[in-house]
Amino acid sequence: MIAYLPPQDPLQLIHVDADLLVVDKPSGLLSVPGRGEDKQDCLISRIQQQFPEALTAHRLDMSTSGLLLVARGEAMQRELFRLFRERAVSKRYLATVDGLMAQDAGEIDLPMICDWPNRPRQIVDHQIGKPSLTRYRVIERQSATNTTRVELEPITGRSHQLRVHLASLGHPILGDELYAGAAADRAPRLLLHAAEIGFIHPFNGAAMLFRSKAPF
C-alpha cells in the first residue's frame, strides 16, 4: 500500500476575490476532514485559518492533486453547488495510465455505484449504477515505459469516476492503490491531476478559466 504523508507546505492560492478562492491542492491532502483525529488536517481547515468564511464547493480525492474551488460564504457556496449540479463547470484532468491506449480519443460510458461492502471502492454496475460519462484524449504514448499520458474530461462527477473508468478499459492510472492492481506500484503517488477548471462567475458574470501544470 502506498503511504501518503500530508504535505505541510502552504497551499498555493491561484485566485482570490471577494466571493471565491481557487486553490492548487497537493496530492496526499484531504479536501475535507475525515473520520478520526488523524484525519482532521485537510485543505478546507487550512484555508479557514486565513479565510474563516471559506466553505467547500466540491472535492478532490486525497490522492489527486490540482485545482479546487472554495466559496467565501454561503451565498457563493449555493451558486457553485448550482453550477456543478447543472454541469456548468468545465473540468479537465491529466493522468498517466498503464499501457498504450489504442484509440486517440473516445468516451467511456459506464454506470457506477458504490461497492458498499468494500467502500470507498466504486464499481461498474449496468443494472443499478448511475449514468457516468468520461471523455478522453491521448496526449502522448511512451513505448519505453508502456504508459500513456491522457487528458480526461468528466461529464458527470461520480466518486472515483476517472479512476474506475480508466481501469475498466484495462489502462488504470499509475499509483492507484484501489483500482490499478500491480500498476499501483509503478508510481509513488496517484498520477491524476485536476489541470483546468472553467466557469462563469455567478456574481459578476466574468468568464473564469484556470490552469495548473501537472507535477508529474
Q: Which residues contact 116 (CB under 8 A, 6 or more apart)?
A: none
Q: Which residues contact 112 (CB under 8 A, 6 or more apart)?
A: 122, 123, 124, 125, 129, 130, 132, 158, 159, 160, 161, 164
Q: Of the listed 9, 17, 24, 61, which one is catalytic?
A: 61
Specify whether 61 is catalytic: yes
Q: Report the C-alpha gap between 79 and 113 in whole angstroms.
A: 27
Q: Report the C-alpha gap between 140 and 156 in whole angstroms.
A: 25
List active site positions: 61
